């Protein structure tokens, strides 16, 4: 089908939503940086934007076939970087690799690597199905997720897992599959209560029965998950105290009004005080008084919400929605499973990050430290996201290529 190679014009709707989001991001970082002693943040972000633009162009022009070939290599390389971060990591929570003036956050690149390697695996399974191929995909991605989780960056690890699961869905796997794949996580959660556990085992049995699996698979799933459930309390104790507190705080914010729950409350105050039309650009009082924690990174949305109000928030959410819509349009168009899966993975990335980050600032999601794509300050994140969106644009333009 080589003769089908053709070329569409770039998706201008996607490009315009991207431009709107980027502009909102720069404006908000400018506003946030007016009160932070590091007033150079805006300038740094501008410089990062140049790198981001380059990454975008590379992503939009790269050959998907080449990309598919190098995906496993890229994934291995990024996993090594993640491993290195554990030993030479610097900066906040030791999540950074510092090479001269450049500060890299490998866990951001790891998300791109995961999307690529998962797409590679799943598309190759389309061509040549293997026994337990899906399990192999999981075994492949586990190292990167585990390395991220032990950094410790539980939020990013969970978001990685969710992106991979979304790609499974895109590849056509049903709910039963997904439940089987994430059964260790469900086992851990259900271990809190015997009733949950019984229900979980029941559901698992139904899925296994309907798929007519042989006995050894039954033993593997039920037995393996029982071990996970039994070990969960031990694992809980191995979590960092701040992670435990974050989880507990999410379950009951009033429990800890002065700790991490406090950040959420202050963020809610900032968002809520925005009202319909906001307090005006650069006029945010919460931001001004340094009430907002991490107001240029994790809580950047609160600054935007405080200063532009409900109207500004709706504009931002609409821009993200349009972006997401155009991404999955491109994913649907793509003939090549790899291209399609990469694009869908980027869509999942955007959707999960936007919901988790904004949900956190609104107090309906736990504090995880996931950035808001295009808006949060951070070079690694911007470059990676723009590279991925370059791929999306690319896939939308060369959708006939197989």
Q: List interacting residues with another protein (CB under 8 A).
A: 35-37, 126, 166, 169-172, 257-258, 262, 266, 268-276, 285-286, 289-291, 305-306, 309-310, 313-314, 317, 320-321, 324-325, 328, 331-332, 337, 340, 344, 347-348, 351, 354-355, 358-359, 362-364
- CB nearer another protein, residue 85 or residue 361: 361
CB 369 within 8 A of CB 273: no
Q: Report, in Å, the least distance between residue 291 CB and another protein.
A: 6
d(CA 390, CA 58): 7
Residue 103, H or E segment: strand 102-104
- CB nearer another protein, residue 53 or residue 402: 402
User: Could you give the angle at which helices 337-361 and 64-88 cross, rounded to 10 degrees?
Assistant: 40
Which phi and psi angles does 380 have, rounded to 5°? -55, -45
d(CA 103, CA 48): 11
Q: Report, in Å, the least distance between residue 325 CB and another protein.
A: 7
Q: Report, in Å, the least distance between residue 242 CB and another protein.
A: 17
Locate 374 and state its tokens: 């295009």
Of 342, 377, 380, the C-alpha closest to 357 is 377
Q: Report, in Å, the least distance between residue 68 CB and another protein.
A: 15
Tell me how far apart the 2 most distant CA atoms of the chain are, in Å.
65
CB 69 within 8 A of CB 340: no
- CB nearer another protein, residue 196 or residue 355: 355
- CB nearer another protein, residue 179 or residue 362: 362
- CB nearer another protein, residue 6 or residue 172: 172
Q: What angle do CA 363, 364, 366 make, to 5 degrees?
A: 80
Alpha-carbon torsion, ordered 375, 379, 385, 387, to 10 deg: 140
Q: Report, in Å, the least distance between residue 102 CB and another protein.
A: 26
- CB nearer another protein, residue 103 or residue 126: 126
Q: Report, in Å, the least distance between residue 281 CB and another protein.
A: 16
């Amino acid at each position: 089908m080589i003769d089908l190679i053709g070329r569409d014009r770039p998706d201008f709707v996607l490009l315009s939503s991207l431009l709107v989001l980027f502009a909102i991001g720069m404006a908000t970082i400018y506003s946030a940086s007016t009160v932070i002693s590091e007033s150079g943040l805006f300038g740094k972000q501008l410089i990062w934007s140049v790198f981001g633009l380059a990454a975008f162009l590379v992503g939009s022009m790269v050959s998907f076939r080449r990309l598919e070939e190098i995906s496993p290599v890229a994934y291995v390389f990024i996993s090594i970087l993640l491993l290195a971060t554990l030993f030479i990591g610097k900066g906040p929570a030791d999540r950074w690799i510092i090479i001269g003036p450049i500060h890299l956050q490998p866990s951001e690149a790891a998300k791109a690597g995961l999307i690529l390697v998962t797409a590679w695996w799943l598309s190759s399974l389309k061509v040549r199905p293997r026994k337990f191929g899906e399990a192999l995909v999981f075994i492949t991605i586990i190292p990167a997720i585990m390395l991220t989780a032990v950094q410790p960056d539980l939020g990013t690890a969970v978001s990685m897992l969710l992106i991979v699961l979304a790609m499974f869905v895109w590849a056509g796997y049903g709910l039963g599959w997904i439940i089987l794949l994430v059964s260790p996580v469900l086992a851990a959660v259900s271990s809190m209560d015997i009733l949950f556990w019984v229900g979980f085992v029941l559901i698992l049995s139904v899925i296994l029965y309907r798929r007519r699996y042989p006995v050894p698979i039954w033993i593997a799933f039920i037995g393996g998950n029982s071990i996970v459930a039994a070990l969960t309390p031990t694992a809980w104790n191995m979590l960092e105290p701040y992670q435990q507190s974050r989880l507990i705080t999410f379950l009951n914010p009033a429990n800890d009004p002065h700790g991490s729950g406090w950040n959420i409350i202050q963020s809610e105050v900032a968002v809520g005080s925005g009202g319909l039309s906001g307090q005006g650009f650069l006029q945010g009082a919460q931001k001004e008084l340094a009430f907002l924690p991490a107001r240029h990174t994790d809580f950047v949305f609160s600054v935007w919400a405080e200063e532009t109000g409900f109207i500004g928030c709706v504009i931002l959410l609409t821009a993200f929605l349009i972006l997401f819509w155009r991404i999955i349009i491109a994913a649907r168009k793509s003939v090549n499973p790899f291209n399609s899966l990469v694009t869908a993975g980027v869509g999942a990335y955007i959707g999960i990050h936007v919901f988790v980050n904004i949900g956190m600032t609104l107090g309906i999601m736990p504090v995880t430290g996931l950035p808001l794509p295009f808006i949060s300050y951070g070079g690694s994140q911007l470059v990676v996201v723009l590279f991925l969106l370059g791929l999306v644009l690319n896939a939308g333009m060369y959708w006939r290529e197989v």
